[in-house]
Amino acid sequence: MVRQASQGGQAGVQGRSVHDGGSQGRATEEEALSSGRAPSSRPPDTPSQYTEEFDKVADLYLGGLWSKMEAALHGAEGEGKRVDVQLEHDAMKLSLPDGGKITITKASPHCRRKPAPAPAQKPGSAWRHRQSLQGAEPRDPGSQSLVVHSNLHDFYGSDGTDSEVPFRLQRDKTWEMDGEELHEFIEDGLAKHLKVQSLLNTLNVLKRRLNQLQREGLYTKEDLEHHKHVLDDIDARWRDEEGTFAGRLAAADPKTAGLCSRLFNECFDLLEGMHHTTAEMPEDLRGMHK
């Protein structure tokens, strides 16, 4: 199952294409790194063997995922300057300039930590099952997982709240949580986050352009129509069924939604004012705005 992030833009497409299915059967380390998973590595049956095998499979997976993600993100125009992907000892980290972070770490039965209260659950798909592993003592070898630490919200944007979601190694060599594979979870969250950042960037650029046209006073009727089409397109894509701009985003991240809504309204007010100014001009001057 691969979930699609609608209209995610180039960044979203690139973000979701970081993992291709691996070949079946035995695979070399090179094949594992090129696919993002280790098809040849199967969880053994005994705890003593499991820890060693878990480390091997996890290292191969993280190395492959890092290689794929770095190539995809840096291959997208402009993305190499915006998303930092690093592979460290026992972890892979992604950092976005807006403060968004994703870290994938290994969790094994030999990591004993003091109990910690479970955080309050929030609505969402896989994120609804977020849980803190700080105090968890795995009951069996199968509890060895790759844990996603992130402050990206389930729907869009970032609410700044850290969460931890464990993905367990399966018998079919995948890492899953409630039927959702790890790479899908990462790609979907990253694509949606980048989509919101793209909206913010677009609105900021549009506002600067309208302010410049207003100051210079040399805009044409075609200029106004073009920018109206841009606003109409944004409105059509981001207004929810109840008629609220960025309504879905507001349910997940009110702060970012409020910023987007304010920028959109400011652009609309600027455009409307410029239309009125053109209509009220004397006939001999109005021609330069047509």
Q: Is the pLDDT of residue 223 over 60?
A: yes
| pLDDT tier for residue 77 given thresholds of 50, 70 and 90 | very low
Taking a C-beta distance cutoff of 8 angstroms, is the pair 276, 289 a contact? no
Distance, CA of 67 to CA of 86 (rounded, Å)? 10
pLDDT class of 253 with cuts at 50, 70, 90:
confident
Cα 110 to chain centroid distance, Å, stands at: 31
pLDDT at 75: 52
Confidence check: pLDDT of 220 > 50: yes
Kindly list the domain boundaries of the chain, sorted by start residue: 9-193, 196-289
In which residue are the tokens 């000892």 written? 89
Query: Distance between CA 227 and CA 283 in Å, rounded?
Result: 24
* Three-state secondary structure call for residue 253: coil
110 or 13, greater pLDDT:
110
pLDDT at 263: 95
Closest-CA residue to 152 (of 108, 187, 115): 187
CA–CA separation, 68 vs 35, rounded Å? 8
